[in-house]
Structure 1
Amino acid sequence: MDAKVRVSYSPDDYWKALKGGDGKALEQLYRQHADALYNYGSRFTSDKEQVLECIQSLFVTIWTRRSNLGSPANVRNYLFKALRVALFKNNKLQLLRDRLDQDGKYNFLATISIEEEMILEEDRVALQQRLQLGLDQLSSRQREAVFLRFYEGMEYAEIAQVMDITTKGTYKLMARAIEVLRTKLDKADFSTLFVLFSFKLFG
């Protein structure tokens, strides 16, 4: 008797299905992305309920407008960008969005979390404090770009899409962020920070 083959569906598959009226596809798309969206959205505001409401509202809107939806090049990036816009609107910042994106004057929280088993407690606390001081020197836009690049694994063009800037602008933003970190941290801490980035150790 043949073993059952488990079929894996991509976000694009679910997107096409929900456009055709498949409610289960919407549910699966939500399950695939809800945690990542919540993690991302929580960095703009400490109001967790607001983040949850925006995510739920986003998926309700997708469902109610499914017949008019296009087919995004990348579903995950579409959802991240849509949530970002929704949070800005919810915070009554939409009219200031261009200025906010230009000078980075919005909140984006990024903290480093070092697992206890990785290093002795005393050294861990001291290292975490030094690395956090370095991260705190970045603008919110720089922290957001760093988060999307190293935690979400997005390419520069994808970051540009989510943050609504040019790809060239993303390269400049990342270059400035790395230069700030290189300046503020000693060589060993700078290297350690990027090792932690690779482990996705954002708190």
Structure 2
Amino acid sequence: MESLYKLYSNSLYNYGSKFTNDQDLIKECIQELFVTLWTRRAHLSEPANVRNYLFKAFRLSLFKKGNMIQKQVRYEEAEHYAFHASITIEDEIIIGEDNAALQSRLQATLEQLTARQREAIFLKFYEGLNYEEIAEVMDISVKGAYKVMGRAIDALRDKLDHNDFLILLALFSSKLFR
């Protein structure tokens, strides 16, 4: 259990920080997740993918604790469902004064995406999950994961000029191959 905690706690914290700025809530949910796993270990079966299981369980715990889920309300329709994606642009990629202006444009464009689209982008490009894993974590179908990602990429392409879009794709690619 300790090795699982050490391996995944930072990623879970990073993921949780995209939903809320409440650091205590994030830490509490991570702690509660691992305590629950420990106390219920005799009753749990081994998941097919431990990372996906932890992300999904953490996400659900965070939503419940943060009163972010209401019964019978679809995530896409919930105004309080907020997933905040952020971009860090490394100095090696963009040099000079244009860096701040570009970062501002890219961030503003990401903020125009829906919360589900930002979450899918984060899971794909920052956590390196494949579409099946994204679907599992977000509790949607694999087809739905492709649709959310496709719509996010289309929206980014529409909202950014060609050069900014290419830079954003390069940044996403560098996240995949780090």
TM over 0.5: yes
Judged with a 3 Å threshold, the aligned counterparts in structure 2 of structure 1 residues 100 and 122 are, in CA distance, closer, same or farther, namely farther
Which ranges in structure 2 are unaligned for 5 or more consecutive residues?
A: none
**How high is the sequence identity, in percent, across the aligned residues?**
57
Alignment partner for residue 138 of structure 2, among 135, 151, 163? Answer: 163
Q: Deviations 1:33-78 (Å, cap 9, x if unpaired)? A: 0110000011111101110010001000000000001111100000
The answer to whether residue 68 in structure 2 is matched with residue 90 in structure 1 is no
Alignment partner for residue 154 of structure 2, among 176, 179, 201? Answer: 179
Counterpart of 1:94 in 2: which secondary structure?
Answer: coil
Question: Which range moved further: 101-110 or 132-141?
Answer: 101-110
Alignment partner for residue 33 of structure 1, among 8, 14, 39? Answer: 8
Larger Cα Rg: Structure 1 or Structure 2? 1
Question: Aligned partners of 1:72 and 1:179: how far apart in 2?
Answer: 34
* Contact 1:110/1:135 (<8 A) preserved: yes
Counterpart of 1:120 in 2: which secondary structure?
Answer: coil
Structure 1 partner of 2:77: 103
The answer to whether residue 24 in structure 2 is matched with residue 52 in structure 1 is no
TM-superposed deviation, 1:200: 2.7
Counterpart of 2:97 in 1: which secondary structure?
Answer: helix
- Corresponding pairs, count: 175
Runs (4 or more) in structure 1 with deviation over 6 Å come to none
Give the letter aligned to residue 77 of structure 1. N
Give the letter aligned to residue 72 of structure 1. P
Give the letter aligned to residue 125 of structure 1. A
Give the letter aligned to residue 99 of structure 1. V
What TM-score do the two structures reach when normalised by structure 2?
A: 0.93
Question: Aligned partners of 2:66 and 2:19: how far apart in 1?
Answer: 10
Give the letter aligned to residue 32 of structure 2. S
TM-superposed deviation, 1:117: 4.2
Alignment of 1:1-203 (within 5 A): 26-96=1-71, 98-103=72-77, 105=79, 106-200=81-175
TM-superposed deviation, 1:136: 1.3
Quote the RMSD (CA, aligned, Å).
1.5
* Contact 2:56/2:138 (<8 A) preserved: yes
What TM-score do the two structures reach when normalised by structure 1?
A: 0.82
TM-superposed deviation, 1:80: 0.3
